[in-house]
Homo-oligomer: A and B are copies of this chain.
Amino acid sequence: VSPADLRVRALSGLPEISPGDPLGELIARSASATGEDIVVISQKVVSKAEGRVRRLSEVAPGEEAKELARRTEKDPRMVELALTESRAVIRAEPGVLICETNDGWICANAGIDASNTAGEDEVTLLPEDSDASARRLRQELLEHGGQAPAVVIADSFGRPWRLGQADIAIGCAGLTALDDWRGRKDAAGRELAATEIAVADQLAAAADLVRDKDSNIPAAVISGLGELVIADDGPGAKSLQRPAGQDLFR
């Protein structure tokens, strides 16, 4: 089924989010998303609501972090947090620290981010398990909104070979994250070359287009793709992680 029309609405008017805030309930109250919609939520507000916030002034960097901070010319306390949040360092160069997080995401600084936080030395960590966060948020949306839209948790990642950041999915629930076209034919009956489509990532990218980075728009609602929403929570965004053994760029 091909949708003819897709709408992306920015969700504004949410209060500043603090640890313990009922994020799903707050979104349900202002979003009016249906069970055919996809709600894309910024990692930053999810991390805040989950208390995944640290003060740099309270971090004591160890020897490994200090040495890596020298190599990367980064704040040793940021590096200490990145190491704690990671299971591997993929690249370390002046100005660049690319990690594989404990949750399996490959990104700069293990996804630790200092912008849009409350305090001067506050940073956010990624959620511990963003798929679990998405499932919880979907459940809260259902409880407080009466509908179960799909949920995507999005973050801005850099990419090899290409400049600039684009939003990708680090968590999702109720969504076919990776649309499998293998075996399907094109209009002329030939096997398709594009065999798997990273639908969750493309939804994250579409939502980012309506979110100004400086205006704290924490979520967007995407309508018109109801065929992607599934009743069960599905395999999550981790189904988008390429197994290390199949990856040529680590």
Q: Which residues of A contact B (CB under 8 A)?
A: 2-10, 12, 91, 93, 96, 98, 106, 113-118, 120, 156, 159-168, 178-179, 181, 184-188, 190-199, 201-203, 205-206, 208-217, 224-225, 239-242, 247-250
Contacts of A213 on B, CB cut-off 8 Å? 181, 184, 186, 192, 194, 197
Q: Can you name 18 A-B pairs with beta carbons within 8 Å?
A: A2-B10, A2-B210, A2-B212, A3-B10, A4-B9, A6-B8, A93-B248, A116-B186, A156-B197, A161-B247, A164-B196, A165-B197, A167-B202, A187-B214, A187-B215, A205-B205, A206-B206, A209-B225
Which residue of the partner chain, among B120, B161, B179, B198, contacts A162 with CB atoms under 8 Å?
Answer: B198
A-B complex: 3 closest residue pairs judged by Cβ atoms = A164-B198, A160-B249, A206-B206
Smallest Cβ-Cβ distance to A201: which chain B residue? B166
Which residue of the partner chain, among B6, B10, B167, contacts A4 with CB atoms under 8 Å?
Answer: B10
Which residue of the partner chain, among B93, B195, B205, B224, contacts A166 with CB atoms under 8 Å?
Answer: B205
Which residue of the partner chain, among B191, B198, B214, contacts A184 with CB atoms under 8 Å?
Answer: B214
A47 → chain B closest CB, angstroms: 13
Contacts of A116 on B, CB cut-off 8 Å? 186-188, 190, 192
